[in-house]
Amino acid sequence: MRLVSRVLLLAVTMLLFAGCATNYYNVPRETYEKKVRILGVAPILLDGDSDIRHPERGEIIRIVREANRKNERELVDILKETGEYAAVRFLDEEPEMLYSTLLQRRERRDDAGVVYNKYFYKPEELRRLVARHNVDAVMLVNVSGVTMLEKVYSNTLTSYLEENYNNLIMTAQILDGDATLLWEYPNFRQKIITYGKLFDLQYADFEEARANLTDQVRVKYKSVAGIGRAFTRTEGSSVKSSKQVSSLYNTQFQSMASLLHYFRNPFAEKRVEKKPEVAQAPAVNEYAPRQAAASGSVPPPTLPLPPPPEATQKAAPLAAAPAIQPAKREFEPVSPAGSAPSDVQLIREPEYK
């Protein structure tokens, strides 16, 4: 049983590593890393001409614009925290003017069951924007309205209503100066595609139907006051604990950041090999033999080492010097008593009695 548990745990871990290592970019990961070292993040744009059907549409646009300005720099801080870029810069541009200058066209898309608005921008204007701020690529985030068919359940999950609902969504793209699409959100390179809406402008009133004992559930728009409260509800920033950020925007930013952070397997990192230390030869003391002779001690035997150049130069003149002959003495020394040299005759004096 324990073996089965370990195998399952290992399988889940390997799947997690494989999922985290997925390349979410439209180009090879290595190409993106070399190409985009400095990323510019434009102010969050608002497509006011998109499918926003709320009866008080002007108020909804005002609420969204204010929320964009208050929360857009949080995305910059989150991207800096990933450590994927050498620098992340906020592009100080007027959002309405920037949007009207860059936009080429908008398309309503339904890809892999995900309904969203995809934006196409003018290449020459993108090139000017990238060059003006001296960045490698620019990230454009857009809030827009879209109507989609959804199945909405009641609070008790006992009933649902499948109908067209009007929502606000957030999309994003990273493009270089040549208008090459390097990354996009929603992202279709995930193994399991997930994409959450920014905000639901409508809801199904199951409570009204239950109170009136009817199966006819009406779809209603949320009030302006309720929408305003939803956009101003805040939570602690994931980067700076003292900073407050909109809960709606923070959810979107975290989803984007998870697709912009590349997992690096710590077990695959190259280890730095230590070079073997080279044994240092001991210093040769040219005076050691003389000191040993003077003290009467004999040094222990050592491996022969080549003498240093200085020692050779100093020893050469000593070896070439002639031997000193002892000076001749005028008188021979007296031998000790009882001994005589072979070439000397000893004359004994007569004894007197």
Over residues 341-350, the pLDDT tens digits come to 545 455 555 5
* Number of separate domains in the chain: 1
Per the document, the length of the chain is 353
Q: Is residue 76 part of a domain?
A: yes
Considering only residues 281 and 149, tell me which one the structure prediction assigns the higher pLDDT: 149
What whole-number distance in Å separates Cα of residue 209 and Cα of residue 323? 130
Q: Which two tokens stand for residue 180?
A: 């090459």
The token pair at 311 is 């020692």
Answer for the pair 220, 205: CB distance below 8 angstroms, yes or no.
Answer: yes
Q: Side chain identity at 243, as an amino acid letter?
A: K
In a domain, 86, yes or no: yes
Is position 346 within any domain?
no
Does residue 123 sit within a domain? yes
Asked whether residue 62 is assigned to any structural domain, the reply reads yes
Asked whether the whole model's pTM tops 0.85, one would answer: no
Is 276 a residue whose pLDDT tops 70?
A: no
Residues 31 and 182 sit within 8 Å (Cβ to Cβ): no
DSSP code, position 347: P
Contact 91, 40 (CB under 8 A): yes
Rounded CA separation 256/243 (Å): 20
Q: What is the pLDDT of residue 125?
A: 97
pLDDT of residue 242: 85
Report pLDDT digits (tens) over 7-60. Answer: 455 554 444 444 445 789 999 999 999 999 999 999 999 999 999 999 999 999
Return the minimum-mean-pLDDT range out of 80-89, 98-107, 284-293: 284-293
* Residue 310 counted as domain residue: no
pLDDT at 271: 45
**Could you tell me the residue range of the domain that residue 191 belongs to?**
19-144+168-195+244-262
The answer to whether the CB of 126 falls within 8 A of the CB of 170 is no
Q: CA-based angle 71:44:227, to the nearest 5? A: 60
* DSSP-based three-state secondary structure for 196: coil
Give the residue carrying structure tokens 């009866």. Answer: 55
Looking at the DSSP bridge assignments, the partners of residue 163 are 150
Pairing of strands 137-153, 38-41: parallel
Does residue 227 fall inside a structural domain? no
Distance CA 176, CA 35 (A): 9
Of all residues in the chain, the percent with pLDDT exceeding 70 is 68
The per-residue pLDDT for 17 is 45
User: Is residue 68 a part of any domain in this protein?
Assistant: yes
Burial of 283 (0-12, 13-18, 19+ CB in 10 A): exposed
